[in-house]
Structure formats: structure tokens, C-alpha cells
Structure 1
Amino acid sequence: MAAANPWDPAPEPNAAGLLLGHFVASGMVTEEILSISKKTDPCFVNFSRLQQITNIQAEISQKNLEIELLKLEKDTADIVHPLYLAQKCHTLQSMNNHLEAVLKEKRSLRQRLLKPMCQENLPLEAVYHRYMVHLLELAVTFIEKLETHLETIRNIPHLDANLKKMSKALAKMDILVTETEELAENILKWREQQKEVSSCIPKILAEENHLHGKHDIVMPSSPLFSKLHIQTNVR
């Protein structure tokens, strides 16, 4: 049976409690000293914490070891697991049986390969001829578009970049369309101005001719010029 702790309150005071009470009453010991003495020494607390840390580290190491074992088992499952080994054995057995059958029929296979391929078409009933024609059309169409389909599949990783380039090209095209519309409007305005100028030119020329006709002055003939003209005629 464990001994009673003298520091714990008891329903009946024992000898140690009576003695401590007498010391407190006489002033030899204070309650603060008694409360301090009840506290555990820090060194023992550190020892207990160190023991807990050691236990936790050991548990972590054990868990890490178990995880490594599970990873190793997972990586080597296709080698050592009975299920995978049975599947591999079955595959090898099938390949072995196939090779044995080929070796048994080696002579007939050699003769068949040496024989020319002629008049060995598969018989097809007349009811299925139209379906065969349709199938051949689909096959021809597929072969014609095969390269296009393959090119499309190759361009799938670059689809985002191509879309960005297309967006930039469309933006540039919109700018060019706007500039072209402005240029067309300017050309139409220039044509209208040229038409107005062309229609005004005859009026301006007519007005200038009219003004020149009013300002023209007829000069009288001088006597000297008349005499010279007469002498020239006589000669």
C-alpha cells in the first residue's frame, strides 16, 4: 500500500500535519516556503521531458522504418508478389506454346510463304457488297485526310500560342480595316473637291476672258508706219 503524501490535505490531521501547523503558527515556517517546497525540482521535469522526447523519436524512427519497408514492397511487388509472378509465368507459357506451334508447322509455313499470293480473296456474299463499297469509300476518305488529322494532332500542344497569334493578327486586321476606311473616306472627299474644282475652272476662264476683252485698247496707226507701208508696196 502506498504511503500517504503528507503534503496533500487529509480529512484527519496526521503527525506531520500537526507539526507543520505548529511551525506555521509559531512563525518558524511560512506558507510560502511550504508552497515552494511542494514544487517539483526543474531538473526532474527536464529529465521527464527528455525521456518523452526520446520515446517520441524512437516511435518516429519505427514509423519511418515501416514506411520504407512498405515502399520497398510496393516497388518490388511486380517481382516478388505471387500474383504478378503467376501472370508472367502464364504469359511466358503462352509464348512458349506459340513458338512450339510455329516450329511444328515450319514446313507448311515455309511453303505458304513461297507460294505466290493470287486467287485467294475472301468470299463475300452479295448482300454485303454495298456495305463493302461504303466501307472502301470511308477508308479512302480517311487515308486522304490522314495527314491533315495528324497535323492537327501535332498542333494541339501549340494551340494556345496559335490562338494568341491569331488574336494579335485579328487586332492588326481591325486596325488596318479602320485605316483603310479612313483612307477611302479621304479619297472620296478629295474626288468631290476635284470635281468642284473642275467645274469651277471653265467659269473662272470665262470670267478672265471677259475681263481681258473689256480692257483691250485699239491703238491708232501712226503716219510713219503708213508711209513705210506705202513705200514697201511701191517697190
Structure 2
Amino acid sequence: MAAPRRSRSLRNTGIPLAAAASPRPRGAGEPKLDADSELDGDPERELECGSCLSVESDEEQGGSAPWPRQPGERSAAAALLERCVAAGAVSQETLDLTCRRMPCFAKFSEMEEMVNMEAEINEIKLKTEMMQLENETADITHHFYLGKKCEILQDMNRHLEAILKEKRDLRKRLIKHRCQESLPIEATFHKCIVELLAEAVTFIEKLESHLQSVRSIPQVPHIMNNMDTTLSKTEVLMIELEELTEQILKWEELQKEVYSKNVCNTVDLDFGLSLT
């Protein structure tokens, strides 16, 4: 993680990368840190100087043999910044604001944890949906309920078969004529039965006629209306017929008069011709 820190320090200082990467003699470009210098008045200049020192310390460590840093040991830049904070030249808030790092791979673990949590949540949701579906379709897919339904259907089928058998027997009995069977009636009452059958036949015929008349009762108003219309039409026709007969009689009288006049004229003409 030294490379991002170095790039951040170089970016903050505003020094070109070529100038920062080129080796310089120790003390050649180091800023002087006096109490009465520019550091007291300009905190940004102080930070630039601290970043330059951190770059130079990194270059020295990169150019020479790397000095193994003990765990918990502070760097020179950290010590310098601590002195500046203790002297009151720079506040800790300013350092915190200027030393923000742009993490490149810092949030990968968090993203991975979030993805894993989302996968677990989706898996739990899928399991709950499957359990709900199983609960809703338990009466369809479970063997226990299917067995009960099969038993109920079998009982219903047996009941329907029994009803169909009874229906067939009843149909056969109804189709078969009653007279083909032996009537459990004594011989002395056969005459009465025959008379009763004749009366039953006449009663049925009369009943049919009465039923037809009863059925035609709702149509009586319509029939009466039809009769009234036909009667009015016949009256109109009778009036027209009377007028026509009167016209015919008048025409006959006129024809007779005309004929008689013609006959008289011809007779007079013949008589005059005969006289001459």
C-alpha cells in the first residue's frame, strides 16, 4: 500500500513526477523548518513540506536498502506532522481533510459481503416461496390427501354404478307391458276390471280434450281480437258490395233506357223511309 500513499503525496505537492522520481542530493531541496519561517503563517505550505519529506524518505528507502520498519514504529513524516500539530501550526481536522485516501480495493470485501448477504436473502426467499407453494398445494400433491380423495372418488363411483343398475332395472320394468304379467286379481272381478278400463280410456280422452281447452284459454283474448277484426272487415266488404250492386243496377237501367231510345229512333227512321 506504499504506492498509493506516494502518488497521493506527489499529487498534493504539485511536483512533477519526473522531478520527484529523479534522485536529489540530501539537503539540496529540503525546506527549512524554522519556527519563524513561512510554516507559521501558511498551513498548506507546511503540508507540502511534510509531503515532500515523505516522498524523499520513500525515495531514500527505495534507492538504498529498505530499512525494516518495526510494527508500531512511526515514519519521519508522521513525526513531523505530529510536531506541527503540537506546535499549533496545523490542526488535526485539516490533516484529516487533506489526507483522505481514494481507496481502490478497500470496498471489495464490503461489496462481497453485500453480494453474499443478497444471495443468502434470495435463497431464503426462494425457500419461503417453495414452502408456501408446498403449503398451498399440499392438498393436491401430498400422498395422504391424494389417498383420501381417491377413496372418496371410488365411493362415489360405486354409488353411481348402483344408481345406474337401479335405473336399468326400472327402465326394463317400465318398457315391459303390464298386461304381459299375471294380474293378482280374482276371476270374479275380471269383468269389473274390463269395464273400469273402458271408463278409464274414455276419461283419458275427455281429459285430453279438457286439457286442450284449458291450454287454449290464454289464447282466447287474441282469438277474440282476431274475430273482431274479421267481423269489421266483413262489414266493410258488405257495404262495398251493396254500393257495387246499386251501381250495377243503375248502370242496367241506363243501358235499358239507351237501348229503348235507340230502338225508337230506328223504328221512326224505318217508318219515315217506308212512307217516302
TM-score (norm 1): 0.31
Instruction: With a CA cutoff of 8 Å and minimum separation of 6, indicate the structure with the bigger relative contact order.
Output: 2
Between Structure 1 and Structure 2, whose CA radius of gyration is higher?
2
TM-score (norm 2): 0.27
